[in-house]
């Protein structure tokens, strides 16, 4: 069973790896033996994460400055990763933005930014890194969706976020169907509310925090590390016959 979940000698790419859940999941991949390429726009923060990983795990980590919504930067990142690692076995599309704003007041620019990062970024990284996987006839793509890709809500005006995360769920299915012939699995994780840099303001808001805790059958936020089980399943060969699926890790939020 340990061998089934092992990532030893695997090469992983993590987008949005400079903070929050991206850092947590990059460290989890490294802890299970994968060399990790860390992608994000904030180079200084990426370097800090890279140093932490190489200091604590017996793997190689590299940092690559990259805006996932920019095709030229994604292509350049692919070149760097291919040169350093020679291959890509795992792609974790984690980069995302929130985009809070009411539907009647949201500007086109604000809407487009959310679409560019949350949806187009997932497609571009899947397409460009997927080309390396297609050559090898092997790959594990994991997209970070959200419970808000499954259902709407009454507390936060985030229609653009809902739209893009819902699209990620179906893009996951579409890529899974298209690339199954290349032995590439494409799945998604739909987190509930986890503590991170992106959600700190929400947690600090008494009314919003009450909504989140009250809406979950477990009556709490997700803890550090509680995404790792689903991540290890989908990143390893334990999921060799699982594709096109979204696993919601949400304390039961989507069950009620």
- The region that residue 73 occupies, defined by phi over 0 for left and psi between -120 and 50 for alpha, beta otherwise, is alpha
182 catalytic residue (yes or no): no
User: What's the CA dihedral at 56, 62, 64, 68 to 10 degrees?
Assistant: -70
Max CA separation in the chain (angstroms):
52
What is the C-alpha separation between 104 and 97, in angstroms, rounded? 19
What is the C-alpha separation between 193 and 248, in angstroms, rounded? 11
HSE at residue 117, side-chain half, CA atoms within 13 A, is 19
Q: Report long-range pairs for 209-217 (Cβ below 8 Å, ≥24 apart).
A: 211/155, 212/155, 215/253, 215/256, 216/192, 216/250, 216/251, 216/252, 216/253, 217/251, 217/252, 217/253, 217/255, 217/256
Catalytic residue among 57, 150, 161, 248: 161
| Whether the Cβ atoms of residue 30 and residue 55 lie closer than 8 Å to each other | no
Q: Report long-range pairs for 205-208 (Cβ below 8 Å, ≥24 apart).
A: 208/155, 208/156
Beta-bridge partner residues of 36:
12, 61
What is the C-alpha separation between 230 and 252, in angstroms, rounded? 15
Residues annotated catalytic, as ranges: 161
């Amino acid at each position: 069973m340990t061998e089934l979940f092992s990532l030893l000698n695997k090469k992983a790419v993590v987008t949005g790896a400079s903070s929050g859940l991206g850092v947590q999941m990059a460290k989890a991949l490294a802890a299970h033996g994968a060399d990790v390429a860390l992608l994000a726009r904030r180079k200084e923060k990426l370097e800090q994460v890279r140093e932490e990983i190489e200091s604590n795990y017996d793997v190689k980590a590299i940092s690559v400055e990259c805006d996932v919504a920019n095709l030229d930067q994604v292509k350049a990142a692919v070149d760097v990763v291919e040169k350093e690692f020679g291959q890509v076995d795992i792609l974790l599309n984690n980069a995302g933005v929130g985009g809070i704003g009411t539907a009647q007041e949201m500007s086109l620019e604000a809407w487009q930014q959310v679409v560019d990062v949350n949806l187009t970024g997932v497609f571009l990284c899947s397409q460009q890194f997927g080309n390396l996987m297609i050559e090898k006839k092997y790959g594990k793509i994991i997209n970070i969706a959200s419970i808000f890709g499954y259902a709407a809500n009454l507390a936060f005006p985030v229609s653009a976020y809902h739209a893009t995360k819902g699209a990620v769920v179906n893009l996951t299915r579409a890529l899974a169907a298209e690339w199954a012939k290349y032995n590439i699995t494409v799945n998604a994780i739909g987190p509930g509310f986890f503590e991170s840099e992106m959600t700190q303001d929400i947690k600090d808001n008494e009314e919003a925090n009450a909504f989140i805790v009250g809406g979950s059958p477990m009556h709490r936020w997700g803890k550090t590390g509680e995404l790792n089980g689903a991540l290890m399943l989908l990143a390893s060969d334990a999921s060799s016959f699982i594709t096109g699926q979204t696993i919601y890790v949400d304390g039961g939020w989507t069950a009620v």
